[in-house]
């Protein structure tokens, strides 16, 4: 390691005094002007990680659904998955090290993680459309070059596209070609093969309005348009040419405010969807003839995909284990429908994609979605091999046809991470194959009315939870208070959890009516405010 070069470059990316940040599920996220030293150091870390695992590592510069002035950075592990938890700690240590300690911290990480500095290293870089992203990805490159690594800068890509590239590279092309063309070709081919198997008349042209959150999704969907078949007509809104990223639009806005995004005019019963800022989440929605807005969130997306997969798995008659993985935010009625009507096992895990992904890997077919619209489907190696074998060798027509649909679904879904583009194509294919309208999909079950709130607190760490975040262990008395409040309402449930990114406590409540869900959420927020050190004025109803 060239300590002189490290010192010289580090001085060009100084750490602001007193700033400490934590690497969480979303990597690092904060105001863009505070990130220069962080991204430089993540360039260093990516090289160390690459040398440690002898594989290409990804670095994505994005703050997803955060406001445009924020930015962030996260690392992608060799198979396109999120950074290993033990390295999240190294990331935090490296980010918070004072200037003069930087070399010492790098050396310590090398010792703890058995990093051989003489090995080759390579990193793939991607960024979103934020004004600050280009300069920050240049700082990443500085970090990479100090430690003498190779890199390939993909420039503007969606987060899932970068995950995909990393996986392709490290599977020697087995997962696909590590280029944007490779991504577009693989997805569009699988999509066309899948809808070709559709025997229902349905609508011959499929119109879909897409709110791209004024982000990267618009650019990439436009690039992908020529690959789509004629029957699929996508109409892109909030493409970033006029308005700010994520401002009054995008999947997060639609989910939180339960209303359509700005910049998109909805006619009754038109199918619409929204991506988030880096295109790794998707939600659908429509307006009925009476003008009421209907949101179709991650829970309902998981349900649709589960129905489709369960039918196909029954036809191929293999003993595949299938399950759905949710978090505590999943609507109670979605859980009920999956378990009682569909008879599919459901598992609840802590919030955060890494927990869902990890649990879903335990099954032959693991469907996971967060209610916010981030999710995908994982197929075990054994299941995938068996399905591809059935396509080639099965004599029985029905079995072979079902196996072919499963194979195309495997190729269409981005198994590395939630991917709005890929999820959208899976959903569109299923609706076409089953001849379902958006209203029929929505009518599978009625969501229990719910409310999400947040309370500002002095220190979010005073809240500690258990049972997949459904129960609060601390502060003392809080859970008892929540239990008592929940008892007052029908079909009610509520939980609180500390935010992973800021000093707020998030509150979720559901009940038989919207009025009751709102009242319960408000009462729980008051309990949090008083028992967990709320800041400012108490929450107002």
Kind and range of the H or E run holding 432: helix 420-434
Q: Is 498 annotated as a binding residue?
A: yes
Retrieve residue 521's tokens. 């959420």
Retrieve residue 522's tokens. 């408000």
Q: Is 71 annotated as a binding residue?
A: no
Q: Is 497 annotated as a binding residue?
A: yes
Q: Which residues contact 36 (CB under 8 A, 6 or more apart)?
A: 13, 135, 136, 139
Q: Is 280 annotated as a binding residue?
A: yes
Q: Which residue has the tokens 């310590």?
A: 108
Q: Is 370 annotated as a binding residue?
A: yes
Q: Is 274 annotated as a binding residue?
A: no
Say if CB 81 and CB 417 are below 8 A apart.
yes
State the burial class of residue 99 (Cβ atoms within 10 Å of its Cβ: 0-12, 13-18, 19+).
Answer: middle
Kind and range of the H or E run holding 128: none
Say if CB 156 and CB 127 are below 8 A apart.
yes
Q: Closest Cα to residue 156, out of 125, 122, 186, 187? A: 125
Please confirm, yes or no, whether 3 is among the known catalytic residues: no
Retrieve residue 5's tokens. 């070069």
DSSP 8-state symbol, 372: T
Say if CB 124 and CB 166 are below 8 A apart.
yes
Q: What is the DSSP string of 130-173?
A: -TTHHHHHHHHHHHHHHTT-EEEEEEE--HHHHHHHHHHHHTTT
Q: Is 239 annotated as a binding residue?
A: no
Choosing from 64, 122, 139, 334, the catalytic residue is: 64
Say if CB 89 and CB 181 are below 8 A apart.
no
Q: Is 499 annotated as a binding residue?
A: yes
State the burial class of residue 314 (Cβ atoms within 10 Å of its Cβ: 0-12, 13-18, 19+).
Answer: exposed
Q: Closest Cα to residue 22, out of 358, 503, 529? A: 503
Q: Is 278 annotated as a binding residue?
A: yes
Q: How many CB atoms lie within 10 A of CB 14?
A: 11
Q: Is 371 annotated as a binding residue?
A: yes
Say if CB 124 and CB 152 are below 8 A apart.
yes
Strand 56-61 relative to strand 70-76: parallel, antiparallel, unpaired?
antiparallel
Task: List the beta bridge partners of residue 346.
Answer: 324
Q: Is 423 annotated as a binding residue?
A: no
Task: Output the known binding site.
Answer: 64, 276, 278, 280, 370-372, 497-501, 506
Task: Output the known binding site for substrate.
Answer: 370-372, 497-501, 506
Task: Output the known binding site for Mg(2+).
Answer: 64, 276, 278, 280
Q: Which residues are catalytic?
A: 64
């Amino acid at each position: 390691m060239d300590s002189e070069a490290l010192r010289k470059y580090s001085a060009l990316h100084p750490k602001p005094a007193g700033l400490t940040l934590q690497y969480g599920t979303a990597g690092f996220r904060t105001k863009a002007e505070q990130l220069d030293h962080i991204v430089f150091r993540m360039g260093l870390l990516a090289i160390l990680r690459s040398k440690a695992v002898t594989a290409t590592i990804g670095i994505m510069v994005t703050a997803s659904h955060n406001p445009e002035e924020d930015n962030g950075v996260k690392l992608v592990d060799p198979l396109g998955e999120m950074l290993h938890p033990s390295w999240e700690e190294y990331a935090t240590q490296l980010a918070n090290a004072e200037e003069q300690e930087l070399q010492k911290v790098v050396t310590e990480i090398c010792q703890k993680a058995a990093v051989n500095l003489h090995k080759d290293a390579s990193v793939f870089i991607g960024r979103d459309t934020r004004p600050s992203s280009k300069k920050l990805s240049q700082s990443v490159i500085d970090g990479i070059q100090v430690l003498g690594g190779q890199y390939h800068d993909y420039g503007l890509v969606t987060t899932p596209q970068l995950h995909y590239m990393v996986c392709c590279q490290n599977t020697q092309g087995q997962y696909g070609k590590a280029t944007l063309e490779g991504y577009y070709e693989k997805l569009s081919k699988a999509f066309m093969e899948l809808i070709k198997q559709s025997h229902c008349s349905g609508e011959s042209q499929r119109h879909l309005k897409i709110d791209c959150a004024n982000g990267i999704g618009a650019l990439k969907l436009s690039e992908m348009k020529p690959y789509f078949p004629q029957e699929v007509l996508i109409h892109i809104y909030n493409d970033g040419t006029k308005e700010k990223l994520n401002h009054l639009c995008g999947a997060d806005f639609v989910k939180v405010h339960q209303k359509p995004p700005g910049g998109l005019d909805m006619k009754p019963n038109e199918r619409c969807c929204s991506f988030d800022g880096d295109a790794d989440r998707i939600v659908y929605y429509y307006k009925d003839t009476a003008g009421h807005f209907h949101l179709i969130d991650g829970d309902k997306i998981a349900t649709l995909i589960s129905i489709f997969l369960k039918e196909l798995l029954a036809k191929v008659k293999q003993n595949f284990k299938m399950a759905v993985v949710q978090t505590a935010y999943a609507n109670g009625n979605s859980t009920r429908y999956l378990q009682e009507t569909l008879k599919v096992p459901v598992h609840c895990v802590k919030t955060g994609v890494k927990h869902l992904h990890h649990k879903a890997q335990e099954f032959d077919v693991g469907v996971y979605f967060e209610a916010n619209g981030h999710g995908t489907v994982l197929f075990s190696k054994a299941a995938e091999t068996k399905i591809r074998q059935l396509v080639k060798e099965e004599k029985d027509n029905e079995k072979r046809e079902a196996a072919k649909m499963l194979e195309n679904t495997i190729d269409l879904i981005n198994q590395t991470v939630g991917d709005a583009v890929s999820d959208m194509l899976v959903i569109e294919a299923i609706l076409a194959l089953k001849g379902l309208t958006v209203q029929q999909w929505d009518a599978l079950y009625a969501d229990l009315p719910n409310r999400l709130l947040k309370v500002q607190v002095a220190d979010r760490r005073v809240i500690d939870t258990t049972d997949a975040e459904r129960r609060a262990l601390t502060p003392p008395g809080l859970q008892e208070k929540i239990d008592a409040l929940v008892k007052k309402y029908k079909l009610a449930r509520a939980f609180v959890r500390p935010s992973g990114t800021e000093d707020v406590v998030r509150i979720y409540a559901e009940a038989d009516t919207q009025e009751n869900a709102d009242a319960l959420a408000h009462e729980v927020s008051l309990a949090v405010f008083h028992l967990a050190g709320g800041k400012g004025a108490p929450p107002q109803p």
